[in-house]
Amino acid sequence: RRGPRRRRTTPARSASPIRRPGRRPCHRYSPRGLPPRAPRPPPPIEGANLEQSALDFTGIDPYDIEREAVPEREALSEILSAVRKAVKAHGCKRAILVGHNATFDHSFLFAAAERADIKRNPFHPFSTFDTATLAGLAYGHTVLAQACKLAGIPFSNKEAHSAAYDAEKTADLFCGIVNRWKQLGGYPPPEPADPDSAA
């Protein structure tokens, strides 16, 4: 005959977690003992094709919650509203996009406006000022960094490829080329001679 069963007893759990040397106290929501991380936000654009190699090159993390990203339509509406006001203030009919390899920026902007269902796009549907082409004519270089150096514009390779920095340097380069052309007498063009006065 078997004797009475012995019950296994376990020590009572402490109200506070036991700390082992070199380890953090256990957290009830995390298996690794760390506070739970905030969920990653969704991609900036639903169904967007985000090339990992491009993200690695630029250092951009589209899922970073510290980007303080806003919905695409909201961002575009704010930008295009300011452009429309400038167009009206200067008596123009359309805005011309200035960009380095401007075809890419132009197509990206118009695709975003169409995706956000924005009807009043102030930019010209196909005309642009491409600083890559203009820099090739003015300085013999199409690369933004090299063209800026030849134009006497400070350029940092560490800060390059961020949207704000590249846009600022592109604007500086464009203004430098236009100002140089004006100094050479190319702009504004001379008024055409009156044929009646010549006779």
Q: Are 94 and 110 in contact (CB under 8 A)?
A: no
Active-site residue, selected from the candidate residues 90, 106, 141, 161:
161
> Which of the residue ranges 36-45, 150-159, 172-181, 190-199 would you say has the lowest mean pLDDT?
36-45
Our answer to whether residue 100 is catalytic in this structure is no
- Over residues 73-112, the pLDDT tens digits come to 999 999 999 999 999 999 999 999 999 999 999 999 999 9
- Region 126-138 average pLDDT: 97
Q: Is the pTM of this model over 0.85?
A: no
For residues 185 and 48, the model is more confident at 185
Which residue's entry shows tokens 């190319």? 186
Least Cα distance to 124 among 88, 102, 97, 90 occurs for 97
Q: How far apart are CA 157 and CA 5, in angstroms?
A: 76
The SS3 call for residue 163 is helix
Alpha-carbon distance values, 47 to 69, 111, 151, 163 (Å): 17, 14, 41, 22
Alpha-carbon distance values, 188 to 30, 51, 96, 97, 170 (Å): 68, 44, 18, 20, 22
- Over residues 9-47, the pLDDT tens digits come to 554 444 444 444 444 444 444 455 555 555 555 566 677
C-beta atoms surrounding 183 within 10 Å: 9
